[in-house]
Structure 1
Amino acid sequence: MDGNKIVLFIKSIFTALGTVWSFIVGTMGWAFPTLLVMMAADFITGMMAGSKNEGLSSSRGREGFKKKVYILILIGAVYLLERSIFGTQHLGDGVTIAYIIIEFISLAENGGKLGVNIGPVKNIIAVLKEKGDGK
């Protein structure tokens, strides 16, 4: 494959990704694509932490991936039900934001497992966990 074909291939990939991203943001707002990015970041950093500490486990990775796919299906169903019944997206965004927070906490914990100084993020996590416990 020559250089021009590689550049064309890369441009095509990014064009397709940009189109999908634009569609998602246009129909669902920023919460859902933000969750997708957080899930991807959590999955990648989880693999990094696993390779450093416990060793990578394909079965643990598969289970984590299946859970993330289920969450996406669940959120999609919430959005669809809410749109068809109420004509809004507030409930779907609320559920999505709750999962964004969960993913953010997991992402920060992965950083801690990697030995990264997460500094002030610890305070944010403490507040989020406290709110999540109903305090």
Structure 2
Amino acid sequence: MLGFAILLGFNLLGLAVKELGHIPLPANLIGLILFTASLFLRIVKLEWVEQTAGFLTKHMLLFFVPFLVGTMTFFPYIGAHWLSVGVSLVGSTFAVLAATGWMTAALSGRAGGKNRRERGVDGE
């Protein structure tokens, strides 16, 4: 129960920081950043929240039910505009894949199709 109170407290702290500081980020993201910082600074011990986090992760599918029910209300819109919705889903998926691949290649030193061994970086 202590772990749930800690997680809920950080969520509410994120809401307070967002409202008082007029920060243009979601409150739960601010709370998550504060929680992560407190874990790294050892203000909160992992053992305090580990069991609760495991329980919430195990039952994560339940948190998607409101989203799915809300999506069902848009079925008439999706049916009427299926082509534009489908093209945007496929296009955005490929754009994210391309951006991720490019970023991974750039960060791993393979930008331009050359890996580290071909450039002689490994000392061989």
| TM-score, reference length from structure 2 | 0.32
More helix per residue: 1 or 2?
Answer: 1
Which of 1 and 2 has greater Rg? 2
| TM-score, reference length from structure 1 | 0.30
Relative CO higher for 1 or 2, CA cutoff 8 Å, sep ≥ 6? Answer: 1
